[in-house]
């Protein structure tokens, strides 16, 4: 018999870091980050004695017109045994309803071929295409040596990485003071590629919360110019390329390739075996290959870059909703279908 508890942040993070499916979006500090930008949070866990064995961090965001809240479980719940599922979902639903949730959205994440997937439909969830995180990504196996990783890439990417390392571009882990440089090129990137970016303070707060323990800011600089930057996060054996930016200057130096390669090296040094490039168009591989050269809308603009790194196109389980209030849920779906997606 499990005890339902609300773990404090240190105990929760210790559990998340040790879990086989550890994910940065389940870290307590991720809730702190989102808490500064309109979300609130709670945690529910099952304990066997003094040990947490399963749980979920839940984010909450108010719905318009005071119609309650949206409850959101990102890349969870974290479960290790099927016996934990029913009591944990029961505890999650009770928590969500205490927070006035009209519905709960769950994005469980990516499951390997041998991993057991939760029967979400059997627990009353319905699939939805209104995802919060991009469901499709490219996963790079970085468990081998660097030459093997390079050999898996396409020839063009490999050539550009090597070119980026021959042009006196300096690649290094940035400090807190370097966030101004990163934010400057992030705004440039958003304007150039016509996609939304977060406010500068968002990235500064992400740095404060996660660097140096679970993230790094990696910059590429040449003769005083900041050419590219990446914020890479890591928990367990996985690293995630969540935020990246580049300047309009000296693009012939291929710094975007060098900074990404440096981030992969950083992840390997931490013991990661998988590098998640985080977000490509939600389309099957054959469509991606057929259309990437002719499309630049949405995530299509980055797929041409990400496809060359020798990874595997991998789709998560997508988004699933548990509806508590059908009328409010229907109104929300209608509204979201007509609103442009903002960065998550």
Query: What digits encode the pLDDT tens for the residues 314-338?
Result: 999 999 999 999 999 999 888 877 7
Nearest alpha-carbon partner for 35 in 54, 58, 14: 58
pLDDT given for residue 29 in this prediction? 98
Those residues whose C-beta lies under 8 Å from the C-beta of residue 21, and which sit 6 or more positions away, are 75, 78, 109, 115, 236
* pLDDT at position 195 over 80: no
Band of the pLDDT at 193, cuts 50, 70, 90? low
User: What ranges do the domains of the chain cover?
Assistant: 3-132+317-336, 136-315
Mean pLDDT along residues 298-317: 93
pTM of the model: 0.94
d(CA 286, CA 130): 23
* pLDDT at position 194 over 70: no
pLDDT given for residue 299 in this prediction? 85
pLDDT given for residue 191 in this prediction? 79
User: Would you say domain 136-315 falls under CATH 1.10.150.530?
Assistant: no
Mean pLDDT along residues 33-51: 97
pLDDT given for residue 189 in this prediction? 87
278/189: higher pLDDT? 278
* pLDDT at position 270 over 90: yes
Q: What is the mean pLDDT of the chain?
A: 94
Alpha helices in 4-55 (DSSP H): 9-18, 28-35
Q: DSSP label at 78?
A: B
User: Would you say domain 3-132+317-336 falls under CATH 3.40.630.30?
Assistant: yes
> Is-same-fold flag (3-132+317-336; 136-315)?
yes
pLDDT given for residue 113 in this prediction? 84
Residue 290: CB atoms within 10 Å: 12
Those residues whose C-beta lies under 8 Å from the C-beta of residue 176, and which sit 6 or more positions away, are 204, 207, 208, 211
Mean pLDDT along residues 249-265: 97
Those residues whose C-beta lies under 8 Å from the C-beta of residue 51, and which sit 6 or more positions away, are none
Phi and psi torsions of 320, nearest 5°: -135, 135
190/242: higher pLDDT? 242
Mean pLDDT along residues 178-198: 87
pLDDT given for residue 342 in this prediction? 47
Mean pLDDT along residues 121-143: 96
Percent of the chain past pLDDT 70, that is, above it, reads: 97
């Amino acid at each position: 018999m499990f005890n339902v508890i609300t773990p404090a942040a240190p105990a929760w993070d210790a559990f998340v870091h040790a879990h086989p499916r550890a994910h940065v979006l389940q870290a307590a500090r991720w809730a702190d980050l989102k808490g500064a930008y309109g979300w609130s949070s709670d945690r529910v866990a099952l304990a066997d004695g003094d040990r947490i064995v399963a749980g979920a961090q839940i984010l909450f965001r108010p719905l318009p017109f005071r119609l309650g809240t949206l409850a959101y479980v990102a890349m969870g719940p974290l479960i290790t045994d099927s016996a934990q599922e029913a009591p944990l979902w029961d505890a999650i639903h009770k928590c969500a309803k205490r927070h006035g949730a009209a519905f709960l959205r769950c994005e469980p994440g990516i499951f390997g071929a041998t991993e057991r997937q939760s029967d979400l439909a059997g627990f009353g969830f319905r699939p939805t295409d209104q995802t919060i995180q991009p469901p499709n990504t490219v996963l790079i196996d970085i468990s081998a040596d660097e030459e093997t990783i390079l050999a898996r890439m396409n020839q063009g990417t490999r050539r550009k990485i090597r070119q980026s390392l021959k042009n006196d571009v300096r690649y290094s882990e940035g400090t807190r003071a370097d966030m101004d440089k990163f934010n400057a090129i992030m705004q440039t990137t958003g304007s150039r590629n016509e996609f939304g970016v977060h406010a500068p303070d968002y990235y500064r707060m992400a740095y404060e919360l996660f660097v140096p323990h679970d993230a790094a800011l990696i910059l590429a600089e040449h003769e005083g110019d900041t050419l590219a930057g990446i914020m890479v996060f890591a928990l367990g054996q996985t690293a995630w390329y969540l935020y990246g930016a580049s300047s309009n200057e000296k693009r012939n130096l291929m710094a975007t390739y060098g900074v990404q390669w440096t981030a992969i090296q950083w992840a390997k040094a931490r013991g990661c075996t998988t590098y998640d490039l985080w977000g490509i168009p939600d389309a099957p591989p054959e469509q991606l290959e057929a259309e990437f050269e002719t499309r630049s809308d949405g995530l299509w603009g980055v797929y041409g870059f990400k496809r060359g790194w020798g990874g595997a196109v991998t789709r998560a389980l997508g988004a699933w909703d548990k509806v508590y209030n059908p009328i409010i849920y229907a109104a929300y779906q209608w509204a979201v279908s007509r609103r442009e997606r903002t960065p998550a």
